Structure 1
Amino acid sequence: MSNLETRPDEQICTAGDAAVGVQLLDARDVPLGGQRAMNVRRTIPQRARSMVGAWCFCDHYGPDDVSRSAGMQVPPHPHTGLQTVSWLFEGEILHRDSVGSLETVRPGELNLMTAGVGISHSEESPEAGRPPLLHGVQLWTALPGSALGVDPHFEHHAELPVAELDGGRVRVFMGSLAVGGQALVSPARTYTPLVGAQVDLLPGGRVELDVDPGFEHAVLVDAGEVTFQGAEVPKDQLAYVAPGLERLVIEAGTSTPARVVLIGGAPFEEDIVMWWNFVGRSHEDVVRARDEWMAQVADAPDGVGTQYAEGAETRRYGRVVGYAEGPLRAPVLPDVRLRPRTRPV
C-alpha cells in the first residue's frame, strides 16, 4: 500500500531507546488519499519508536464496508529499499506490479513484494464478487544495505504454517517461530532475522511462544481484551518489548476472542531515511528515487491526473499494466535536508 499523504513527514528510523517492561505505542489516524480517502491507524514509525527489528511501517485498517463504494483504490506508485507485507483478516485485494504480477490476496494468505532497486505496483478492491468488508494490516520491512541492489520480485503464499493450541491458533507469515514444540517456518524470503505471525485466542485463552532472546518484539491488538507480558494492551495499540526474553505470553479476556499480530526481529543495525514510499540511507537516496519516479510520469494531456512518460516500462520502476488510472505523482519534498539520526547510545 502506498503512503498517500500529500505532505509526508521525514521519518528518521533507528532502533530507538531501550525500553523497560512493556512500552505501549498509540496509533494515529491517517487519511490516505483524497475524495476516496481510506483511514488507517499507524503505530510505526513514530517518535517514540520507529522500528521493531526490520519492521519499519505498520498500518492497521478496517473493518471497512466496501460493498457500497469502490473500496481500496491505490493507483500505481513506486517503492525502494523495502518489502511490502500485505495481510488480511477480511476481504480481498488485487495486486498488480511492474514485474508482471497479478494476484489476489485473501485472509490467511501472504502477498510479499520486494522492491530492491525499485518497483511500482497498484492495489484495488476487486470490481465484482468481492466480500463486503475489508480489514487487515499493511507492513513494511526495511532491506539491509546488502540487499538494496536486489532485483524486484513478488511472492504469493497461500499455504502457511499453523499451530493449533488449547488457547488458540498461531499462523506464521514471515520468518520462524517455535510454538508448542513445533517449529513454524514461513516459505517467504526474508533478508534479516525476523518474525511475523497472527495469533488468534479463544476467550480466556493463553498462548506461550518460545522466541529468540536476541529479537525485539511487539504485538498489535486487532480485537478483544489482550494482556501481553502481564500488561493490558488496548485495541489498536502496539505493545513493545526489548530483546532479552526467551518466552512471550499473550492472554485474552474471558468474555470474547482476541486477535493480535506479532512482529519481531534482530534490532536493525543501520539507520534509514524513509520518506513517502522510499527507504534509503541518505537525503540523496530519496531525492534520486523521487526524481527518477517523476521522470516516468507526466501530466495528462487534459490536465487531470498523470500518465506514463514514453519508455517508462524500461526505467527504474517499470510500468504497471491493467490499472484503470495513471500513476501517482510524488509529493513535494520538504524544505529541509533529510538526515539519518545517529543510533542512541
Structure 2
Amino acid sequence: MSVTDAHPEELVLSPDAPHCADGARVEIITSRPVPLGGPRAMTVNRTLPQKQRSLIGAWCFVDHYGPDDVSVTGGMDVAPHPHTGLQTVSWLFEGTITHHDSGDNHAVVRPGEVNLMTAGAGICHSEVTTQATTTLHGVQLWTALPDADRHGPRRFDHYAPEPVLFDGGSALVFLGSLLGSTSPVTTFSPLVGAEIRLDAGASISIDVDPAHEHGLLVDAGDIDLEGVTVAPTELAYTGVGEKRLRIRNNGSDKARLLLIGGEPFEEEIIMWWNFIGRTYDEIETYRAEWQAEDDRFGVTEGYISHDPDGLPRLPAPELPNARIRPRVNPAPIARPEERI
C-alpha cells in the first residue's frame, strides 16, 4: 500500500530504548482517518506513525481499513509505487487483492494468509481489489529494515498459518513465535504478528517475550487489555519487560484483534512517502530516481486499474522546503497519560 498524502511528512525516528519492568501499563494510541486518494477514496485508520509514538519494534506503519462496501468506496486501486528499506505486511480479514511487483511476484492476497514483500534497496508494486470482492477489510503494515539488510535484494514471502486453538478462541501467528506456533517467514529483526479471535466473554493470558514491546490493535469487540478499555481502531501499547498480557472480551459478540511486537528498533531512520532511508540526501535521491524511472525500482507488470484513465504509476510528491528536525520515539515504556 502506498502513502498517498499530497504533502507527506518527513519522519526522523531515533528510539532510545532502556528497558522497563514496571508492570503492565497500557498506553492508548488513537487512530486518525487518512484517505488513500481518488474521487471515491477509501479511508484507512492510521495508528502508526504518530507524534505520540512512531515505532513498535521495527513496526513503523499500521493502517486498518474496513469493513468497506467496495461499491461505495471503490475499493483499493493503488498504481505502481516505490519502496525502499522496508517490508510490507498485508493481512486481510475479508475480500481479496491482486499484488504485482517488480521482483516478478504476482499473488492474490487472501484472508488469513500473510503476504510479505521485502523492498530491500528498491522495489515497486501495485495493489488492486479483485472484481469478486464486495467487502474489503484488513490491515496493512510496514516494518523498517536494519541498516545491514536494507540494501539487499527484493523478495516476496507468502504463508498461510494453521489456527492455534485455545479455550475461548483461536489465533493465526503469521510472524515470529506466539502461543507455541512459529512462522517460517523471514524477518530481519525480532518480530511477532498474530490475529487473535476471542469468543464472547472469553479471556486469554498470553506469554510474551519481555524483550519485546507490543501493540494490540482492536478490529472488533468490547476489549480490555490489563483492565484498560481498548476501542475498535485503537492501538494499545505495552513496553518492554512484560512477560504476560491479559486480554478480555467483555462483549456479547466475537472479537478480533491484531497483536504486533518486537525488540525496540534502535536505529535512526527517516521515513518520507514510501521511502525509508537514513539521511535526507538519500530520500532526495530515491525520489529523483523514482521520477526518472531508474532501474533501482524496476518495472511492475500486470497492473490493471479500475479506472481506464488512471495513472500507470504514482508520481512522487514534492519534497518539503525545509528539513524536519529529528523526532525521537519515546522509550519503550507505556505512558497511560499520553492518550491522544
Secondary structure at 1:122's aligned position in 2? Answer: strand
Counterpart in the other structure of 2:263: 266
Hey, what's the Cα distance between the residues in 1 that align with 2:44 and 2:156?
Answer: 24
Runs of 4+ with deviation above 3 angstroms: 14-20, 67-70, 338-345
Counterpart in the other structure of 1:301: none
After superposition, what is the alpha-carbon deviation per residue over 1:97-148, rounded to whole angstroms, capped at 9, x for unaligned?
A: 0011110011100110000000000000113xx2310000000000000101
Count of residues paired in the alignment: 321
Percent of aligned pairs with the same residue?
50
Hey, what's the Cα distance between the residues in 2 that align with 1:116 and 1:226?
Answer: 37
2:118 corresponds to 1:114: yes
Match of 1:185 among 182, 187, 190: 182
Secondary structure at 1:287's aligned position in 2? Answer: helix
Distance 1:214 1:230, change over 3 A: same
2:96 corresponds to 1:92: yes
Distance 1:343 1:112, change over 3 A: closer
After superposition, what is the alpha-carbon deviation per residue over 1:198-244, rounded to whole angstroms, capped at 9, x for unaligned?
A: 01000011112111101000100100100111211111100001100
- Specify the code of the residue in structure 2 equivalent to 1:95: H
2:33 corresponds to 1:36: no
Match of 1:322 among 292, 302, 305: 302
Secondary structure at 2:176's aligned position in 1? Answer: strand
Superposed displacement of residue 67, structure 1: 4.0
Mark the runs of 5 or more structure 1 residues left unpaired by the alignment. Answer: 297-311
Superposed displacement of residue 36, structure 1: 3.4
2:195 corresponds to 1:198: yes
Does the 8 Å CA contact 2:17/2:264 hold for their aligned counterparts? no
Q: Note the aligned Cα RMSD (angstroms).
A: 1.7
Does the 8 Å CA contact 2:61/2:143 hold for their aligned counterparts? yes
Does the 8 Å CA contact 1:80/1:279 hold for their aligned counterparts? yes
Superposed displacement of residue 323, structure 1: 1.3
Hey, what's the Cα distance between the residues in 2 that align with 1:161 and 1:191?
Answer: 23
- Specify the code of the residue in structure 2 equivalent to 1:277: N
Counterpart in the other structure of 2:151: 149
Distance 1:163 1:276, change over 3 A: same
After superposition, what is the alpha-carbon deviation per residue over 1:20-60, rounded to whole angstroms, capped at 9, x for unaligned?
A: 71000110011111213110100010011000000000000
Does the 8 Å CA contact 2:270/2:277 hold for their aligned counterparts? yes
Distance 1:163 1:344, change over 3 A: closer
Superposed displacement of residue 17, structure 1: 8.3
Hey, what's the Cα distance between the residues in 1 that align with 2:162 and 2:282?
Answer: 37
Hey, what's the Cα distance between the residues in 1 that align with 2:73 and 2:198?
Answer: 32
Hey, what's the Cα distance between the residues in 2 that align with 1:40 and 1:24?
Answer: 18
* Greater relative contact order structure (CA < 8 Å, 6+ sep): 2
Secondary structure at 2:300's aligned position in 1? Answer: coil
Distance 1:339 1:114, change over 3 A: farther
2:339 corresponds to 1:337: no
Secondary structure at 1:290's aligned position in 2? Answer: helix
Deviates more, 1:92-101 or 1:247-256: 247-256
- Specify the code of the residue in structure 1 equivalent to 2:299: R
Matches within 5 A, 1:1-345: 1-15=1-15, 21-67=25-71, 70-127=74-131, 130-157=132-159, 159-177=160-178, 179=179, 183-296=180-293, 315-324=295-304, 325-341=311-327
Secondary structure at 1:146's aligned position in 2? Answer: coil
Counterpart in the other structure of 2:308: none
Hey, what's the Cα distance between the residues in 1 that align with 2:183 and 2:217?
Answer: 20
TM-score w.r.t. length of structure 2: 0.90
Does the 8 Å CA contact 1:271/1:343 hold for their aligned counterparts? no
TM-score w.r.t. length of structure 1: 0.89
Does the 8 Å CA contact 1:217/1:242 hold for their aligned counterparts? yes
- Specify the code of the residue in structure 1 equivalent to 2:3: N
Secondary structure at 1:217's aligned position in 2? Answer: strand
Deviates more, 1:60-69 or 1:70-79: 60-69
After superposition, what is the alpha-carbon deviation per residue over 1:62-108, rounded to whole angstroms, capped at 9, x for unaligned?
A: 11111466421000000000000000000001000001111001110
Hey, what's the Cα distance between the residues in 2 that align with 1:186 and 1:99?
Answer: 23
